[in-house]
Structure 1
Amino acid sequence: MPEPTDPFVIEPRIASQTHTLADGRELIYFDDVDSSLPETRLPDARELAARPPTASMRQDVLTGDWVSIAAARQNRVMLPPADLDPLAPASPTNPSEIPDQYDVAVFENKSPSFGPLLADDNQPEGVEDLATIGIGRTRTSVGRCEVVAFSPASTGSFGALSRTRARTVIEAWARRTHALSQFDAIAQVFPFENRGEQIGVTLHHPHGQIYSYPYITPRTQRLIDSVEQYGPSLFADVLASEQAGERVLLQGEHWTAFVPFAARWPVEIHMMPHRHVPDFAGTTLEERDELAVLYLRLLRGVDALYDTPTPYIAAWHQAPTRVHRDDIRLHLQITSPRRGADRLKYLAGSEAAMGAWIGDIPPETTAANLRAAIARADEENPV
């Protein structure tokens, strides 16, 4: 059986404070341990329109999947110039989403795919309700979408952060996972980072997001099916198998990163904690400290594969908030469509239509290339 989950702990040297934006959305500042910022922060002085209606979901009766129809997202900012960066600290000429200077800031998305429950009689009635199959079923997209601004800088990504700043972001992930998991309507919390225009990012500013869903996501449901077939030791056995193989990239006291046995993407990396932890809220301070170092080394290695930055999705998969906590382990999945210096993998007929994947590069070759890239990055830019 897995070890009991540790009680939720915080790094007391990383201060946080909560504010309210002009339209009622929540904003939370997280300060580095060596921050020079003042405790008092400026209020949001903008005059904002009321928040848009919460999106609605429609069920695909052929799969049971829920599709959020979030029309307000059509109006979001698309690759603005640096002087109009909506994640930069506000200035007289740029009334941004963040009113003052900051180290790390987390706030509710202005046009979310999943949002607060407003006056509505079509809210989900739990995961059992959402698991029911029927034609023409709709529900309000209750949940929460948050933006995590990694830095006040207008360009960059997580891999460009300092070790101290990376640790602050990880602390924010842990605290927000814990807080969001307390909402009855939220079934799963998902922190992630999209990096690069080839992935579809709409802002160059270094940032990630946290999605909180009212249902258990399709990918996690497939994982639950595998656990039920294999047994509760699935993650422990996968980790042991990978640690004994040739695809390990980095290994510390608490975490191991590797290219998985059946990698789908040209670049695909998984990272797992060495003990059973369902989500970031269950990690210890020591695990978060080591992760800040290993994760930076990993991402800098991904960028060192070629002469230009590598587009990727960094997805932190966590257990659902109330079920399967003892057998689904927190783990990272980094994927990139980049299969060469000037080539991308596109999802065509077999992958996009049938979900039947064809790998372009043997995972062992990818692992060897990544280990060499990490070594180059460590030499050029040590953490």
Structure 2
Amino acid sequence: MSGPEIHFDPKDHQHLRYNPLRDSWVLVSAHRMKRPWAGQVEKPLEEHIPRYDPHNPLCPGNTRANLEVNPDYESTFVFENDFPALQPNAPNPGPDQHPLFQSKAARGVCKVMCFHPWSDVTLPLMTKEEVVKVIDKWAELVEELGATYPWVQIFENKGAMMGCSNPHPHCQVWASNFLPNEPALSDRCQRAFYEKHKEPLLLQYAKQETEKKERLVVMNADWLAVVPYWATWPYQLLLLPRRHVLRISELTTEERESLADIMKRLLTKYDNLFESSFPYSMGWHGAPTGPHLKEDNSHWQLHAHYYPPLLRSATVRKFMVGYEMLAQEQRDLTPEQRERGTNVWTSSWQALSLAGSVSVQDICFEPEIQKRDKHQIPFVCLCTQRGKEEGYKIQRGGIGFAPLHDHVEGSEPPVAPSAVSSVSLSFGHPEVSQGKGPPNTVLVARAHTCNVATLASSLRGSSTHTACTQIR
């Protein structure tokens, strides 16, 4: 006698999802998130990173391993990697002796790009103008290296959990005389889709996700970021332009500015998710370069992948081991499902959508505290509108900031997160004091000073109780 018919529910029943960029399948086992966690817990993330470290080889004015001295740079800074994985003049390995033992020549260049002269800032903490300069430099490097090499890979490993040994904000750019495995596979898949459907795969996907809004995290006029339907990592993101663009060097000025805006928003959401500086590996994929510049690459669409390792908290990560290494990719949390429990309180899409997206606004209290150098300390005030009657309230120290004080004296370290209190804010963004602005928007007022007491004294002139804190 057969039992009652079971209706499929993606959040309760395992199933496979197709990844069209890799022509592969991902096993989704959403019901496994109900199991208690007894696995490895990582050490808490580093909370105290000095703005300038005389021993850090990426800081301005410091000497690197090859004894070259960095300039006193004030924006981005690019240099040849002192320990490159690819070199331009490597010898050819010669003819193969057996079909099971093949080798080919591998040549290229590896560069390191510093985003900012300060070690204690990350992309979401930088101003929009500073992030635009990073994007401009990315585009410049793709154009410069892509004139010769078939592939230029821009990637950032953020956080020690992702193998980053230096906290200074930076990325790497590797150019190679060959098309690496992942972009070669993506090229084949996008080409096959284009030949069949006469439209770029990722352009069609962006349209579908914009309409469905099931996995959409952030979007503006030119860009959207989604947790992809086939995501393997819990908080994986795919960043896409909304028009057909082959390479990052082809972005207009307006698109670069809107890209800076959406990068700050999505990376802020990452940091707010577990109230820590969120680790990840990210990279850009665009149409091949070098000899491929003369080919028709209409099947390509520029995009960026974000692969964060975190699973349930800032100290619990997902491991790609066992079944993932020996059989196929597998994940427990679906991009859409909503789970309630001690550790899993929402889906990856909803969690990122609900995490605060902070806008940074520079403000000036007094002319003498506007100076910026590597020894100075920025201060921030966070607020979110709760309605005109309540005014703006500070709710929590987000985006990896140290927690908020509700009173500042001297240069004492910030209080613990549990001690964060709600206090009014009446300055900074022009709309704050007027009680205007979109509902539930998080705002940041940022000033730069080398003395906590000086800033606190300026703040006490406000008609309401204010709060400030140091950025890590």
Alignment of 1:261 with 2:261, yes or no, is no
What is the distance in 2 between the residues matched to 1:96 and 1:339? 40
Pick from 134, 139, 163 the counterpart of residue 128 of structure 2.
Answer: 163
What is the distance in 2 between the residues matched to 1:149 and 1:291? 19
TM value normalised by structure 1: 0.71
What is the distance in 1 between the residues matched to 2:278 and 2:188? 33
Alignment of 1:203 with 2:203, yes or no, is no
Percentage of identical aligned residues? 26
Report the alpha carbon displacement of residue 282 of structure 1 after superposing the two structures with TM. Answer: 1.2
Report the alpha carbon displacement of residue 227 of structure 1 after superposing the two structures with TM. Answer: 2.3
Which residue does 1:296 correspond to in 2? 264
1:158–1:207: 8 Å Cα contact kept in structure 2? no
- Of 199-208 and 149-158, more deviation after overlay is shown by 149-158
Amino acid at match of 2:181: P
Report the alpha carbon displacement of residue 295 of structure 1 after superposing the two structures with TM. Answer: 0.6
Which residue does 1:379 correspond to in 2? 442
Which residue does 2:183 correspond to in 1? 220
What is the distance in 2 between the residues matched to 1:374 and 1:199? 24
Pair 1:250–1:174, CA change in 2 (3 A): same
Which residue does 2:277 correspond to in 1? 309
CA radius of gyration, larger in = 2
Pair 1:382–1:236, CA change in 2 (3 A): farther
Pick from 81, 84, 87 the counterpart of residue 112 of structure 1.
Answer: 84
| Two-structure CA RMSD over aligned residues (Å) | 2.7
TM value normalised by structure 2: 0.58
* SS in structure 1 of the partner of residue 161 of structure 2: coil
Pick from 328, 335, 345 the counterpart of residue 307 of structure 2.
Answer: 335
2:128–2:257: 8 Å Cα contact kept in structure 1? no
What is the distance in 2 between the residues matched to 1:370 and 1:189? 30
Which residue does 1:326 correspond to in 2? 298
Pair 1:224–1:344, CA change in 2 (3 A): same
2:162–2:279: 8 Å Cα contact kept in structure 1? yes
Pair 1:111–1:327, CA change in 2 (3 A): same
Pick from 116, 126, 141 the counterpart of residue 176 of structure 1.
Answer: 141
1:148–1:210: 8 Å Cα contact kept in structure 2? yes
Deviations 1:70-108 (A, max 9, x none): xxxxxxxxx999321111112589966523333111111
Which residue does 1:83 correspond to in 2? 54
* SS in structure 2 of the partner of residue 363 of structure 1: coil
Report the alpha carbon displacement of residue 319 of structure 1 after superposing the two structures with TM. Answer: 1.5
Pair 1:230–1:325, CA change in 2 (3 A): closer
* SS in structure 2 of the partner of residue 174 of structure 1: helix
Pair 1:201–1:96, CA change in 2 (3 A): farther
Alignment of 1:243 with 2:210, yes or no, is yes
Report the alpha carbon displacement of residue 110 of structure 1 after superposing the two structures with TM. Answer: 1.2
Report the alpha carbon displacement of residue 268 of structure 1 after superposing the two structures with TM. Answer: 0.6
Pick from 251, 272, 276 the counterpart of residue 240 of structure 2.
Answer: 272
Matches within 5 A, 1:22-61: none
1:316–1:332: 8 Å Cα contact kept in structure 2? yes
- Of 225-234 and 146-155, more deviation after overlay is shown by 225-234
Pair 1:209–1:283, CA change in 2 (3 A): same
What is the distance in 1 between the residues matched to 2:92 and 2:189? 36
